[in-house]
Structures are given as structure tokens and as C-alpha cells.
Amino acid sequence: MKIIDTGFDGLKVIEPKVFLDSRGYFFESYNRNDYRKQCLNYVFVQDNQSRSTYGVIRGLHYQKEPYSQSKLVRVLEGTIYDVVVDIRENSSTFGQWYGIELSSTNFKQLLVPKGFAHGFSVISPHATVYYKCDEFYHPEAESGIRYNDPTLNIDWKIPSGKAVISEKDLKLPFLEFQK
């Protein structure tokens, strides 16, 4: 596997070694031994999967301490624009965001460490997103940042008027109110 630094401490793009032939493809999407060799010592305890249609924006979500989560995100079907925001107050990249296209054809994965809010937009007709978490979900620790926070100015790659947002996500606060 190839590990690409993003300029954000701990945030990595993972490119697995993919074996393609006339039958299709094969790759190891996760191998704990390979991660440990790269000093990526995560113990994942929960897997999540979602399916969404074009224009859906999910996020930006995170869990508060002591239940914050690291995530390993990949796409099983379709294409998303995956976005994270650094919410670690002592980080040099606090309040900055990073975005990357993840798809079922580019095989890229995003390793999101604790201390980031996470979300994505679906830029294909539909997408199935799968991610591993190193902490169980705790509803009382659930939090988030509104997708259209003007201080973040995230380009979700969805034309104006085409975004599909849940009522719950529309009620999330802006980042400035969470400091």
C-alpha cells in the first residue's frame, strides 16, 4: 500500500495495491499487520455503511471526547467528494478543511484521525460508502458542523440548488460557535 501525507497531522490517503486482470480486480482493503508496519496503530471496532443518491451531503459529523473516532473511509460503489475539517484546537491546521475524491474505481481510502469532523457529497448517480471506526458510536457524544459554514467555504462539488441535506444536518452549528 502507498501512504500519502495530506499536510494535516495524521490525515492520510491510502492507495492499496490493486491487482487488475480480465476477471476484475482484487486488493486488500485493510491489513492490520501492514498498518502496524507503517506505525498506523488503529484497532477498529465498528464498521458503517451508507448508500446515497446524487447531491446528498452527509456531515460534517464527529463524536466528542471521550468517544472521538478515527475512521478509514472508502467507496464500494460510485464516487464521493470526501471532506474533513480539523477541529483540534491546538493544531496548526485547526479550522482548515481537506477534500478528496474517493471512488469505487480509484480505490483510494482516507484515514481520518480523531479530532476531525467528517462529511461527504455524492457526485455520481449513487454511492455506497463504507468506513471502519476505532470507537463505538455513542449518541450522547454526537456533534457536527454545518456543511455550509461560511468560514470554511467548502466546495462540495454539487451545483447550487441540487444539494440534499437532512433536517438534522441543517440544524448543526457553525464552527465558530464550537470553539
Q: Would you call 72 exposed, middle or buried from its count of C-beta atoms within 10 A (0-12, 13-18, 19+)?
A: buried
Q: What three-state secondary structure class fits 114?
A: coil
User: What gap in Å lies between CA 92 and CA 146, rounded to an integer?
Assistant: 22
Per the residue annotation, which of 131, 137, 138, 147 is the catalytic one?
131
Per the residue annotation, which of 42, 61, 67, 130 is the catalytic one?
61
* 131 flagged as catalytic: yes
Instruction: Give the largest CA-CA distance in the chain.
Output: 53
Opening angle at CA 150, ends 118 and 169, nearest 5? 45
User: What gap in Å lies between CA 144 and CA 85, rounded to an integer?
Assistant: 10
* 61 flagged as catalytic: yes
Q: CA-CA-CA-CA torsion for 131, 60, 11, 86, nearest 10 degrees?
A: -160
Residues labelled catalytic: 61, 131
